[in-house]
Amino acid sequence: MPLRLEIVTAERVVFSEEVDMVSAPSADGRVGVLPRHEPMLALLLPGELHYVKNGVSMPFAISGGFIEVLPDRVTILADTAERADEIDEARAEAARQRAEERMRQRHSEEDFIRAEAELRRALVRLQVARLRRERGSR
Ligand code: ATP
């Protein structure tokens, strides 16, 4: 049975193809999905999402959202999602530095929490971009 992976944000369909396996960062831990998985709905945390197709693993950076699993389909509703080759590393590095500086300044608890979330998104993007460079994937 084929497994279709759809990664969707409010802005666009980021990815829609048949794949062999999906690995996603759910709030309950990393979930691995093969065809015929039992139906499931879970919260996603900021992190790396991978799919495997023809033995090749492809990473995406996602900043949180939901995953819905059906036996023949995985739908990711993400706040933001980028394919590794879409990530602007210089932008992510600047976002990382900005977030770290705001965390150091600690203007307010709310500001600190927001900066922490920005830092997490930036670190995921940097990690996914690094993976792509190391593997020489697209
Ligand atoms: P920045 O401060 O650089 O905008 P951010 O974490 O605040 O970073 P988001 O609000 O998470 O950005 O995302 C806004 C939009 O920009 C989304 O469409 C997201 O996919 C895209 N985006 C954010 N950072 C990058 C990046 N480094 N490379 C490519 N696209 C990015």
Q: pLDDT band for position 51 (50/70/90)?
A: very high
Statement: residue 71 has pLDDT above 90: yes
Q: What is the mean pLDDT of the chain?
A: 95
The per-residue pLDDT for 107 is 86
More confident call, 4 vs 134: 4
Look at residue 40 in the predicted model and tell me its pLDDT: 96
Give me the mean pLDDT over the 110-122 stretch: 96
Same CATH fold assignment for domains 3-84 and 87-136: no
CATH entry, 87-136, from 1.20.5.440, 3.40.50.720, 1.25.40.10, 3.90.1300.10: 1.20.5.440
Contact 127 CB / ligand 1 (< 6 Å): no
d(CA 30, CA 23): 7
Query: Closest ligand 1 atom to the C-alpha of 121?
Result: 6
99 lines ligand 1 (CB under 6 A): no
- The kind and range of the H/E element at 123 are helix 109-135
Closest CA to ligand 1's atom 2: 95
Buried b (16+ CB within 10 A) or exposed e, 30-68: ebebebebeeeebebbbbbbbbeeeeeebbbbbbbbebe
Residue 123, pLDDT above cutoff 90: yes
> Which is it for strands 81-83 and 3-8: parallel, antiparallel or unpaired?
unpaired
> What's the pLDDT at 137?
47
Residue 82 has pLDDT above 90, yes or no: yes
Percent of the chain residues past pLDDT 70, beyond the cut: 98
Contact 128, 61 (CB under 8 A): yes
In the chain, where are the structural domains located? 3-84, 87-136
Q: Which CATH number fits domain 3-84: 2.60.15.10, 3.30.450.370, 2.60.120.10, 3.40.50.300?
A: 2.60.15.10
Q: Is the per-residue pLDDT at 138 higher than 60?
A: no
